[in-house]
Amino acid sequence: MALDPEILDRPPAEGARIVAQALLAEARERAGRLGSPVVDDVLHDFRVSVRRLRSTLRAWRDVLGPAVRDKDLRRLRRAARATGDARDAEVLLAWIGQASRDLPAAQRPAVDWLARRLAGKTRAADLAVTGDRFVAATGSLARRLVGRRAPTSGETFGRAVAERIRRQAARVASRLSRVGSLDDAPDAHRARIEGKRLRYLLEPLRHTAGVETEAAVEALKDLQDLLGELNDALAAREALRAAREESADPELRPGLAALEARAAGRAAAAFARLRRDVLSRGSGAPLEPALAVASALETRGVRRPPSRTRKRNPDP
């Protein structure tokens, strides 16, 4: 997406509508590719599009007005949930493939059993149905977003973005400040979600002339990668624990226990990196580039009064 810089000086509703239209079109296009066996990461891409769209509609609902309804947000939430198990299974399958390479031969049956169990959650046919339903369910939203006249406003879209950046950055910092150990994983997970919402505010401006968002987006991606690694490791640990407890075959349990231990070690290592690279610097450090973008947007178009020079008295 590359917004015309002039949009930043237009009413907030106009800018928000343009961004929402672009994100909805992207999500609907990716939904049409769900279930395709020849497209890598199609499920991941679709889920990212839905998150971006859902976050944008929530952030700008106050200015988009009747174009966005409660039903629209519920449909987006259902789409995210409908694909959640499949995506979790994809991530866990990929990690198991790597983590099990050097397992003893006696423990390999556990890997094969778990892979078969997870594969059933990623069936392409089911995902294709989800994609078709998403396209059909968002048709009315697409029509409502087209051509809505933006109400007059004394505020600009650029300043409205800046206000939301500052508000969202405060939420991220608040969550990060509560993370002190692995026991605080729920707050770390929430910080990750809030960080994504902040990034989604910035991303539409990435290729907008005169707006430097690259450093802010990259800093938030780095934070998300750290928090995502921790979340994935903890999710893998819990999934493996549940599989070990549910397995009725005692021959599978040693292999499942070995993978569970590796997931726990992965979680500990991820938290150590998070503490070293982020928490030790203070919860606000990863957010400084985003706040710099907010400051630039707030001062956009503001003219400074000319400096006054003192007139010297003429020589007598």
Rounded Cα distance between 43 and 89, Å, is 11
CA 6 – CA 120 distance, rounded (Å): 49
Give the HSE-up count for residue 37: Cα atoms under 13 Å, Cβ half-sphere: 3
Q: Percent of the chain scored above 90 by pLDDT?
A: 66
Residue 276, pLDDT above cutoff 50: yes
Q: How far apart are the C-alpha atoms of 62 and 81, rounded to whole Å? A: 25
Closest to 165 measured CA to CA, from 14, 3, 288: 288
Structure tokens at 107: 């423990």
pLDDT above 80 for 152: no
Mean pLDDT for the stretch of residues 6-33: 94
CATH fold, domain 5-298, is CHAD domain (1.40.20)
Is residue 237 predicted with pLDDT exceeding 90?
yes
Q: Which residues contact 5 (CB under 8 A, 6 or more apart)?
A: 208, 209, 210, 211
118, two tokens = 């997870």
Residue 290's pLDDT is what? Answer: 97
Amino acid sitting at position 198: L
- Could you report the per-residue pLDDT of 286-311, keeping only the tens digit for each? 999 999 999 999 988 554 445 454 44
Asked whether the beta carbons of 95 and 232 are under 8 A apart, the reply is yes
Convert 53-64 into a string of H (helix), E (strand) and C (coil). Answer: HHHHHHHHHHHH
What's this model's pTM, rounded to 2 decimal places? 0.87
- DSSP state for residue 10 in the 8-state scheme: S
Give residues with Cβ within 8 angstroms of 39, minimum separation 6.
33
Query: Pick from 177, 216, 172: which is nearest to 190 by CA?
Result: 172
Query: What is the full DSSP assignment across 222-280?
Result: HHHHHHHHHHHHHHHHHHHHHHHHH---TTTHHHHHHHHHHHHHHHHHHHHHHHHHTGG
Terminal alpha carbon distance of the chain: 65
What residue spans define the domains of the chain?
5-298
Residue 214 has what pLDDT? 95
Whose CA is closest to 216, among 149, 290, 274? 290
pLDDT, position 316: 42
